[in-house]
Structure 1
Amino acid sequence: MPTQAPLQAPIVQPQTLARQYDKLIKYGTTEFKGTVDPLEAEQWLEGMDRVFKKLHCTEELKFKYSVSLLQEDAYAWWKTIPYSLVEPPVLSWDNFLREFRQKYVPDAYVDQKLQEFLSLKQDSKTVAEYEREFSRLSHYAGSLLSTSREKCKRFETGLKPSLRMQVVGFRHNNFSELISQALELERIESEVTPVKEKIEKIEKLEKEKSRKAVDQSSSGATGKKKNFGGTSRDRGRGQGSTSGSQGTVNQKEQGSASVRVYIMRHGKKLKLLTLWPVHSLSLIKMYLYCLIQVLPTPMLVLALLVSLLFRVSKWVLRC
């Protein structure tokens, strides 16, 4: 009895290049015409890679589809690459990526993005905004984020202090869990912050009121202590003599005098004290008080002595 040949699985014919190309367009791939913006070039590559994964494309098909989507300036550049137009192709998908990045995503741009990643902080951004920026720039970190733990540590370092203090002790190894915890802590903090700010505002107002009350009381006490016109008893005598002389006799006939005294300290005029007509005896007392109590300058002493001698001589002549 002859042996039967083993049954073979039917050979599946691969889809044609044209049908696959239609699927590329359907999934959102676009033609690339060249650019001076490295970010735009990177986004085109990322979009292509995402569609290739959906279609389970081989390395050979990735190369063919990518070249077919180059247009205008981009295709003119590709023709300058050695062996780029050889059929059948001798270049691979990896060759295409290397040449494409050297042209449109230079090393200087990559280094700049790496520095941005290393200095990235949350600051005033929300956790969601910070995570989005972190994920975008982590693409340039390369070996710095080789493990999930290193990625979590780098993210924790950039969190603002109020959140970092609460998550660092958990030593997260799962990046998604770390993001979830940070979002929850941010939500709780946003609910507590308005109440805290209200309390701080009330305390600030109370301190301001207390400070104003202290200032008013101290200014009132200082005003009472200042006495540039002599003692209270001398001022009482002067005011009594003034009220007694008004409406009865002429002030000159009573031998009274009117004088203005400028009290000087450190070369600045502090007070202009006008003494209404007073008796000569009170005037003498006032002069003596100024000489004893006030720290006079030589000119003030001389002015007071001349004025005193003039008043005394005038009083003697009248007597």
Structure 2
Amino acid sequence: MYDQFPWLSPKEFSGTTYPFAAEGRIRSLEMHFHYLKMGDADRVRCATYMLREEASLCWERAEHGVDLATLTWVQFKSIFYKKYFSADIRGCLKREFMTPRQGDTNVTEFLRKFDRGCHFVPLIARDIAEKLKHFMDGIRSTIRHDMMMM
């Protein structure tokens, strides 16, 4: 299928020290899995097949502690995130999102960071009114005033 639709081909993952690359890799895989309607077992097999170099070595160590026959996608992601997108980093992102401040950044950059933070605090992200209020609370007062006037 990937020969026929090369844009569908998931990319290999060799490991990273940049947590957003790892998190983005999982989100990208999930888009493929959703499109292809893959079940848990196939998702885990595909994801582990795409691991290379350092990431493959880490998985080899981690798989000794799991039952591959019953490993779910959620469990795989948990193992993956422990290595590449730790709870500490996710916690920092949640705290950053809970106290948004535009500061000296432009609106586009603030919006990008805000959208990224929404992913980690879904209770706010799912409520459109709360999300808008949270965004407006973080934006510079001069811009907030202009937006309110509109």
Query: Would the TM-score normalized by the shorter structure come out above 0.5?
Result: yes
The answer for the alignment partner of 2:64 in structure 1 is: 82
**What code does the residue aligned with 1:131 have?**
L
Give the superposed CA RMSD.
2.6
Unaligned runs of 5+ residues in structure 1 are 1-18, 170-184, 186-319
Q: Which structure shows the bigger proportion of residues in strand conformation?
A: 1
**What code does the residue aligned with 1:143 have?**
L
Answer yes or no: is the 8 Å Cα contact 1:83–1:90 preserved in 2. Answer: no
In the alignment, structure 1 residue 115 sits paired with structure 2 residue 95: yes
Deviations 1:266-312 (A, max 9, x none): xxxxxxxxxxxxxxxxxxxxxxxxxxxxxxxxxxxxxxxxxxxxxxx
CA distance in 2, matches of 1:151, 1:54: 28
Q: TM-score w.r.t. structure 1 length?
A: 0.41
Bigger Rg over Cα? 1
CA distance in 2, matches of 1:52, 1:66: 10
Call closer, same or farther: CA 1:108–1:36 in 2, change over 3 Å: same
Call closer, same or farther: CA 1:24–1:31 in 2, change over 3 Å: farther
2:119 is paired with a residue whose SS is helix
**What code does the residue aligned with 1:46 have?**
R
The answer for the alignment partner of 1:41 in structure 2 is: 22
- Within the candidate set 149, 156, 159, 2:139 is matched to 159
Answer yes or no: is the 8 Å Cα contact 1:59–1:92 preserved in 2. Answer: yes
CA distance in 2, matches of 1:71, 1:136: 27
The answer for the alignment partner of 1:32 in structure 2 is: 13
CA distance in 1, matches of 2:58, 2:108: 39
Percent pairwise identity = 24
The answer for the alignment partner of 1:93 in structure 2 is: 73
Q: TM-score w.r.t. structure 2 length?
A: 0.81
- Larger relative contact order (C-alpha < 8 A, sep ≥ 6)? 2
CA distance in 1, matches of 2:5, 2:50: 10
Answer yes or no: is the 8 Å Cα contact 1:83–1:91 preserved in 2. Answer: no
Aligned length: 149
Answer yes or no: is the 8 Å Cα contact 1:32–1:71 preserved in 2. Answer: yes
Instruction: Quote the offset at 1:95 in angstroms.
Output: 1.3
Unaligned runs of 5+ residues in structure 2 are none
